[in-house]
Structures are given as C-alpha cells and as structure tokens.
Amino acid sequence: MNSVFKKYFLIGMAIFTSNWLQLNFLFAIQNETKVPIDWINKINDIRFEKNGFIDTKIKKLEILMDEYIQLGYQKDSIYARMAHRLGDYYRIQNDTDKAIQLFEEAVRINSSNSIYSEYNYLCETYCNMGLTYLNIDLEKAETYFEKSLEIFEIYPEKKGFVAALIHEHMASYYFGLGDYQKAIEIIDYAMATIPSITSTIDGNMLLLQKAYSLLLLEQMEPSRDIFERIIPVFEQEGVADEKKAVAFSIYSQFLETSDRISEAFDYLEKCLQIRKVLGYHTSVANTLYKMGSMLSDSNPKAAIVYFEEALGYSQGSEAEMLIPVIYNGLGVLFQKKDDHFEALRFFQKGLVAMGKNFENNNVFTNPDPAYFRNFSNDQIGFVLLKNKGESLLELYNEKPKEKGYLEASIKTHFLADKLVDQMRWNQNNSTSKEYWRGRTKSLYEKALETSILANNPEQVFYFLEKSRAVLLNDKLNELGAMQLLSDEEVKKETILKKSIDNLLKQIETNKSDKLGYQKLVKELYDGREEYKKFIKSLEAKYPVYYQYKYDTMVFSMQELRERIISNDQVYVSYFMGEENLFILKVGSEEPVLEMKPIGTIYEKINRFNELVIDKTTLNGNYSEFVELSHQIYLDLVYPLGLKGERIIFSMEEQVLPFEILITNESDPESFLLKNHPVSFTYSAQFLKKNKVSTRDKPISLFGLAPVDFFNANKASLLGSEVSLKKLAAMFSGSKVLSGQNASKQNFLNDYYKYSVVHVYSHADADNYGSEPMIYFSDDKLKLSEIPFDSWPKTDLIVLSACNTGVGKSIKGEGVMSLARGFASLGIASSVTTLWEVDDKATYAITEQFYQYLREGYFSDVALQKAKLDFINQQDRGNRIPYYWGGMILIGNSFQFEDVGNQYPYTLVRILVVFAVLVMIWFFWDKQKKRTINHPSRVKD
C-alpha cells in the first residue's frame, strides 16, 4: 500500500477513532454527590462492569430503574442519573430518539428546583445531549454544549472534566471533517480556559488529540514532542484501561508514519487486548481494521483475516459505521495486487454500506451526489470513489475495447470531485484546506488520464481548472459576494477580522506571559466563533451571497476563447503528476492535448532553477543551461505547435520562467521571449474573475520607494527614488512616497485607490513555509496582513523586490507568494520576481515597460519589448537570463491609455471638440439667416 493510500486510511479511520475516544472518555465521568451512596454504587457497578456489552448494561439499568420506583422512591436526582446513563447507552447505539427522551427526563428532574433535584448534574446531561446531536444537527449540539458550559462556569473546579469533554468532542467533530487546524484551536482554547487541566488525564486526552491532528497535518516535530511527553503517562498504573487503549491506538499511527512498523503493531496488539476485555465492538473493530491496514503490504493473507474479523465485530452493532472503511481497506489490498475486479467489488460494497438510500452492487453505478450530504464523514466517500475510479481506469487500460470501464471511471471521478467541494465547504481553516488540496492531487491526475483517453478536451480543461488555485478562486468568490452586502455589514465583518488579526499578533508576542497568553487564546477563540456566526447569518440572510461565495462552476473552453483570450493569444495549461505530464493548449484553432510519462522533468526543472537564480552559477555553467533549457522547451513547449502567438501559461504548483527557454540548441540566445510575449496565470478562472477591459481613462500611479531599511538591516536601494520619479512623470494622477514616507501604513492607506501600484523594496520568501513579506521604511508587511475588505481599483501592482513571486508551494493549489496575496484581493495583474533581481537591470526594464504601457501596448507585449530592449543594449555578459528573466507578468494582459501627460493626444481631442462646435455654430447661423430671409416660412 503506497503512502498516498496509507494517508487516506489514516484519515478515514481518524474519525472513528475519535468517536470511540469520545465514547470511552464519557464513560469515565464521575462527580461528587449528596445522594445515597449505595444507589450510586449500583449504577457504577453496571457502568464499570468488565466484559459487559451495551445491550446487557441497558437491560440491567432498566431493571434497576424499575426497582427504584417500585421501592417507593420518587423520580429524584438518583433516578435522573439512571435516566442520564441509560440515555448515554442508547446514544452509543445510535438510538437518538430514546436517548433524547431519557436525557430530557433527567433535565426535567434536575431543573425543577425541588429538594430532590441536582442542578449541577445538568452540566453532564446537557453535554450528553450535545453529543447526541453532534453528527446530526451541529447548531442544536452547540446550543446544548453552551448550556453545559454555562453551568461549568458556575462550578469551574468541579465540572472541568465536562468542559474538557465538550471541547474534546468538538475537536473530534472538526477532526472528522478534516479540519485538523480547527481541532487544534479548540484544544488550545480548552487548555487555556479550564482550571488546573494541565498535567491531568483530561488534559492529556486533549493533548493526545492535538498530537494526532498535528500528525495528519504532517507537522511531525510538534506531534512527536507531545507523544513523547504524554505516552509514558498513559502506560502507568492507575490510568483507566479505555484511555490507555485510545492512547496506544493513536500512538501506533504516529509510529507507523515514522516507519516504526514493528513498534506500531505491538501497541495495536496491546490496544486490542484491552478493548476485547472491555467488550465495545466499535473500538475492537477499529483496532482490527488498523492492524489489517498495517499488514496489507507485508502480509496480505494476514491482513484479510484481520479485516474479516473487523467486519464480524461491525455487523449488527454500533460499529456499523466502520464497515465502509473496512471495505475500502480490503479494496485497496486487492488493488495493490492488481486484482481490480475484486477491488471494485469491495469499493462498491463500501459505498452501499454508507447509507440506506443506495443498494446497487453494480460497479458501473454510483450514488446520487445528494447521498453523501447526509454523512459527516464525507472523506471516506471521497476515498472510496477515488479508488473506485482508479480501478475502473486500470481495467480499461487492460481491456481498451471495453469502453464501459472508461465511461464509468469518468463519472466516478466527477462525483469524487463534487465531494472535494463538499469537504472544502465543511472546513473553516485555511491550513486544513491547504492540506486537503494536496491530498486531492492524485484524484485529478487519474481524472485527466481518463479524459485524455476519452479524447475529450472539455473534460481535460475542467479537471485542469479544478486541480489548481481553488482556494484563490474561493477568496475571489468571497470578495465578489461581499459586494452584495450593506456598508454596515461590510464594516462589521472588517472589524471582526481586524480584531482576530490583532489577537493573533498579540499571541505571538505574549507567549512568555502564561496568564496573558491564556486570556488572549480565549479571546481569539471567542472572536473566531463570533465571526463564524456572523458569516452564517449572512449566508442565511442573502441566498445570492451564499450562491456567489460557494460557486464552483467551471466555464467552458468556448467561453475562454470568446471572452477571456483574444485571437492572437493561446492559453496553455500544465499538470505534472506522479506518473504523467498533461498539456492542453486552447486558442483560435483546435485544442492540443498531450499526455506523456513524467520521466525526469522534475529533476530538469529543479536543476534549471538552480542555474538561473545565480549569475555566477549561470555564467559558469551556461552550456549546461542551454542544453537543459532546450530539453525543457522540447518537453513543454515544442509539442504545442506555436506560431508567434501571445502565450498565457498556467501551472498547478510552480511558475517556470518560460521566456528564457532556448528554442534552438545551436543558438545560445534563441530565447522564447524573442518570438512570443508571455504572461502567467493561476488558472483560467482567475482571468475570468479579474477580467480588465481596455482602459480609456488616465493611469493613476501610486509609487513607493523606502530607499533605506534601517529597521530591517537591508541594503539601501540607491537609485530607486530616481527611477520612481521617472515613472511618475509619465502619467497624470501620480502619487509618489519615498524615504520615511514610504511606510507600511501609508501603503495600506492608499494602494487600493490607484489603477497602478509600484513598490521598489526588499522582500523575503522561501519554499519551506515561512510567510512572504515585503519591507517598507518602518516595518514589514506579511502576506496575512494584507487587508481583505473590498474590491480595489488597482488593475496592476508591480512588486520590484526580490522573490515576490516565491513562497511555499502547496500541492494542488500553487505558490503562496506576495503576488498571489494581492491577487486574492482582486488585483487582476502583477509584475513580480522569481529570484533576487539586479537593481540596475530592474530600473531599466521597469522604465521601458511603463513607457510601452503608456504607448498603448498590451502589458505582456510591453514587458516583452522592455526586456528585448534591455538585451539589445547590453554586452554579452549582461544579456544572460539572470538579469531579465526573473521579472514576470501574472494575470490579465491589458492596455492602458493615459490622457494626462500625452500632449499630442490631448491637443487632437481639443481640436476635434473645437471643430464640432464650429460646425454646429455654422449650421445654426445658416439656418437663422434662412429664417430671416424667408419670414413667410415661419408658421403663426
């Protein structure tokens, strides 16, 4: 089983592990009481009876309740405890109606204000009511949790374990949605707000869940730190067996991910022994499934035995929800053995087992998309469909004449794609969304392969678009939706977001102050909850807002041709998968489709980038650069059959400076730039959402050049102020700030008011996850600090600083750079840099670029001409691509026409207006004279 499948199994099972963790933890609830101890002991004897199954406990508790009433006792707090406990057992068996009925009876008794009530126990009962609704109706669950937490605030020391339980379950809920970062935030909030929870078993259970979330977000170091600190605690005597089992189960996942397979299996065996003694089917089945998954590669026969035993524990019990996951495990096992017929049988069984409204075992059929909306665990549905689509594709590759396999594979991939959208909508945190974007890349690789084999360019275009920059498009959808709101609502949203941003900054600087830090964590969590409720209220109030915000439609290639690109442009989209490279060219002619083995293209591009970003390295290895650059040209560009068109390139994860590719290996300066104006885009969707028409109004330029960066220990940019003034002189309506005036706040105050923004500065970014930032005279501006309020007037932002197009690359989404940050604000186009740029070259190319813009050239052509001018003016040593290739245009190409400083055009317009006025006067005067000379023609 490869690593991708393993991760999906971990994810699919994580939900159920969490549910069992919740179940076990809830059973540990105990509290002080004033009621007779003998009856409490009788209840606890049933609760903690070893080898006692739920059905048996239910019968015993029902008998105990009848006996209590028959002995003449009233329905008092003891009876309420019995109802509470019985309701919890029915909750575990998914009998919601009986569970709620019993909980409500317990609430009626303990909220009656009689001497027989126990008000503080409502904390536990409201908690259990919330748990009952958690996977059915989140709003109801949250309402009951809030009631429980209100009582916790009255008895914080006594009811801290209930508060811990609530936050653990809420964390598990979001964990189940794949929103692992949200789960972490909830746990951090609980650790900061529940008194004395640190170093308690309740606190360690929360930390266990946090470590698991970090593990699935691939943050191994912080995950390891927590596991190494708390696992020894769970191994000690005195820790409840069910808690030990949960800890051992989760820790085995960490060990497996760390390639410590033998240790991982040992911990699962310990876990299994404990859980079989406790007698809870769900946890036993869950553990057996994990053991089967762990052996799928090394010992398939043993794995099948574990899977089948897991199914045995799942049939007809509360563990039925595990059945789809176990079938998926069996399917993948046979998929790995290339037995795709058997794999499909199990994947189909898994889909059928998910619910009651789909019972078709025919592998050529799929459920309706609405079938999956009723499940909180949409991840297992996604994994089943993804795997099913892959096996159908493999069967078609084995039997190309059987077109039914190909058609079924395409339909299955489309349905899996819909679930990807559903999963994204269910996640609130960008970190979790980014994680899941990476996990879906393999789906789109197989979807593209099916579409290529079907020779369907429209489907290829669809899946290429869905494979990239989806989160960026979501941001633009959200920005567009905000235009539908009132000024007051926009203002409120801005205030809430700024409050959250300020709290995040304060938390970063107050970690050493424990009390202050805990207070800020609580305020941050409360602020995020308030913001979430506000957004939900907008979605309910404005249906159009909701539709606009969650729009996932991909427009057609015909619309791309007719509305986005011009007749002299082509749109070229690439997808680089694990096995294949996919290329689509769309222009005025028939589309070009290409699929070829990925080969060594990744290695070529990595070495190519190493060469071009350093002038010394490039000069010393120029012959290698020419050879490598030409090879990449043959791989990526030559198959397109280009004829001098303007090219828009789109890649799903990185930006390759295509302009510097060598088209003729015998000519070391035969750059693609010489034949084609080039621009880049995050996706075709981005071009559509930010379409800019030809401008007939003046360019308003806002420019900043800090020059010196004393606070940041950066080199002075001598000459930047002079260059900026040259740019400003070209256009009317310009505002230029330099030196100390080029501050962060002055930038934020004004940048969105101008059609063009230009910044000469320094920037920091890398490919390893540190947040991109750009420097001003007084402070740095981080990507996350760029405000997201309303659509700016800005059409173009020029970031003349090092690495403004560089950032962490997220699979399936792209590079999280400064340029992309401004794109997410609705700025249609940016000129950005891919490496540390040379100052003098930058000034020269930039000034020529603006000159050509002023003359009415499209921005991609203007940048091409500016670069060619630079090359033609330099000696051989300064013509290498290092000097000019790093500056690229991302987004829409468009024309500007400035009317402010272009005297000839202004004079022509004045003369035309004057001529029209003279003609009007001439005809009016002539008509007047006729009237005077022929008065009889005037009517009475």
Q: What is the pLDDT of residues 659-698, one digit of tens each?
A: 999 999 999 999 999 999 999 998 888 888 766 544 455 6
Highest mean pLDDT among 37-51, 439-453, 545-559, 754-768: 439-453
DSSP string, 741-788: GS-HHHHHHHGGGSSEEEEE--EE--SSSPPPEEE-SS-EEEGGGS--
Residue type, 649: F
**What pLDDT does 936 receive?**
44
Report CA dihedral (349, 355, 359, 365) to the nearest 10 degrees: -70
Residue in 277, 274, 243 with CA at minimum distance from that of residue 29: 243
Size of the chain in residues: 940
What is the pLDDT averaged over residues 840-857?
A: 92
Query: With DSSP H G I counted as helix, E B as strand and the rest as coil, what are the percentages for the chain, rounded to 5?
Result: 65, 10, 30
**What pLDDT does 641 receive?**
92
pLDDT at 86 over 80: yes
- CA dist 774 and 759 (Å) reads 9
Q: Report the b/e string of 515-549 with b at 16+ CB within 10 A.
A: eebbebbbbbbebbeebeeebeebeeebeebbebb
Angle of helix 122-133 relative to helix 77-92, nearest 10 degrees, comes to 20
- Give Cβ neighbours of residue 423 (< 8 Å, ≥ 6 apart): 177, 178, 378, 379, 382, 436
Residue with tokens 């030809």: 694
Phi-psi region of 787 (alpha: psi -120 to 50; beta: other; left: phi over 0): beta
- Give Cβ neighbours of residue 276 (< 8 Å, ≥ 6 apart): 284
Beta-carbon-side half-sphere exposure of residue 222 (alpha carbons within 13 Å): 13
Encoded tokens for 306 = 């574990």
**What pLDDT does 770 receive?**
60
Bridge-based pairing state of the strands 592-597 and 580-586: antiparallel
**What pLDDT does 307 receive?**
97
pLDDT at 867 over 70: yes
Name the more confident of 382 and 710.
Answer: 382
Lowest mean pLDDT among 48-52, 562-566, 613-617: 48-52
Distance (Å) of CA 128 to CA 29, 149, 409, 860, 881? 11, 12, 43, 62, 66
**What pLDDT does 929 receive?**
54
**What pLDDT does 135 receive?**
76
Residues 441, 467 contacting (CB under 8 angstroms):
yes
- CA dist 190 and 688 (Å) reads 44
Query: Which pLDDT tens digit goes with each residue over 133-142?
Result: 987 888 899 8
Distance (Å) of CA 520 to CA 188, 527, 650, 841? 11, 10, 42, 47
A 10 A CB-CB count for 666 gives 8
**What pLDDT does 294 receive?**
95
Give, in degrees to the nearest 5, the angle at Cα 547 between 542 and 548: 95
Residue 366: DSSP 8-state: -
**What pLDDT does 603 receive?**
95
Q: What are phi and psi of 888, to 5 degrees?
A: -130, 160
Encoded tokens for 128 = 């259990």
Name the more confident of 769 and 518.
Answer: 518
**What pLDDT does 912 receive?**
56
Query: Which pLDDT tens digit goes with each residue over 178-205?
Result: 788 889 989 998 998 888 888 889 899 9
Angle of helix 514-541 relative to helix 180-193, nearest 10 degrees, comes to 130
Beta-carbon-side half-sphere exposure of residue 188 (alpha carbons within 13 Å): 21
Residues 28, 245 contacting (CB under 8 angstroms):
no
Query: Which pLDDT tens digit goes with each residue over 337-373?
Result: 999 999 999 999 999 998 878 889 999 999 988 888 7
pLDDT at 145 over 50: yes
**What pLDDT does 284 receive?**
93
Mean per-residue pLDDT of the chain: 83
Give, in degrees to the nearest 5, the angle at Cα 657 between 654 and 663: 130
Residues 676, 647 contacting (CB under 8 angstroms):
yes
**What pLDDT does 917 receive?**
63
Q: pTM for the whole thing?
A: 0.77
Query: Which pLDDT tens digit goes with each residue over 164-180?
Result: 999 988 998 888 777 88
pLDDT at 927 over 70: no
Residues 307, 285 contacting (CB under 8 angstroms):
no
pLDDT at 596 over 50: yes
What is the pLDDT averaged over residues 238-254?
A: 93
**What pLDDT does 27 receive?**
36
Instruction: Give the rounded distance of the alpha carbon of 57 from its chain centre.
Output: 44
**What pLDDT does 32 receive?**
38
Alpha helices in 155-240 (DSSP H): 160-176, 180-193, 201-216, 220-234
- Which of the four pLDDT bands, split at 50, 70 and 90, describes residue 843? very high
- CA dist 818 and 833 (Å) reads 10
**What pLDDT does 177 receive?**
74
Cross-strand bridge partners of residue 815: 809
Name the more confident of 765 and 373.
Answer: 373
Name the more confident of 645 and 693.
Answer: 645
**What pLDDT does 5 receive?**
39
**What pLDDT does 535 receive?**
77
- CA dist 399 and 387 (Å) reads 19
**What pLDDT does 371 receive?**
85
- CA dist 49 and 280 (Å) reads 12
What strands, in cross-sheet order, belong to the sheet with 763-764?
763-764, 773-775, 780-782
Q: What are phi and psi of 822, to 5 degrees?
A: -70, -30
**What pLDDT does 905 receive?**
42
Query: Which pLDDT tens digit goes with each residue over 462-478?
Result: 999 888 855 665 655 56
Residue 369: DSSP 8-state: G
**What pLDDT does 318 receive?**
65
Query: Which pLDDT tens digit goes with each residue over 719-746?
Result: 999 999 999 888 877 899 999 999 999 9
- CA dist 156 and 150 (Å) reads 10
pLDDT at 258 over 90: yes
- CA dist 635 and 599 (Å) reads 10
Residue in 686, 683, 185, 219 with CA at minimum distance from that of residue 427: 185
**End-to-end alpha-carbon separation of the chain, Å?**
102
pLDDT at 502 over 60: yes
**What pLDDT does 714 receive?**
82
Name the more confident of 853 and 543.
Answer: 853
Residue type, 464: L
Name the more confident of 207 and 834.
Answer: 207
Residue 297: DSSP 8-state: T
pLDDT at 776 over 70: yes
pLDDT at 147 over 80: yes
- CA dist 72 and 751 (Å) reads 78
CA dihedral for 488, 490, 491, 492, sign (positive or negative) = positive
**What pLDDT does 940 receive?**
35
Instruction: Give the rounded distance of the alpha carbon of 66 from its chain centre.
Output: 54
Residue with tokens 């489709």: 593
Residue with tokens 């209100």: 150
Residue in 523, 506, 573, 11 with CA at minimum distance from that of residue 253: 11
Lowest mean pLDDT among 153-157, 328-332, 438-442, 444-448: 438-442
3-state SS, 204-222, equals: HHHHHHHHHHHHHCCCHHH
A 10 A CB-CB count for 459 gives 18
pLDDT at 626 over 90: yes
Encoded tokens for 598 = 């990925």
Encoded tokens for 178 = 């794949």
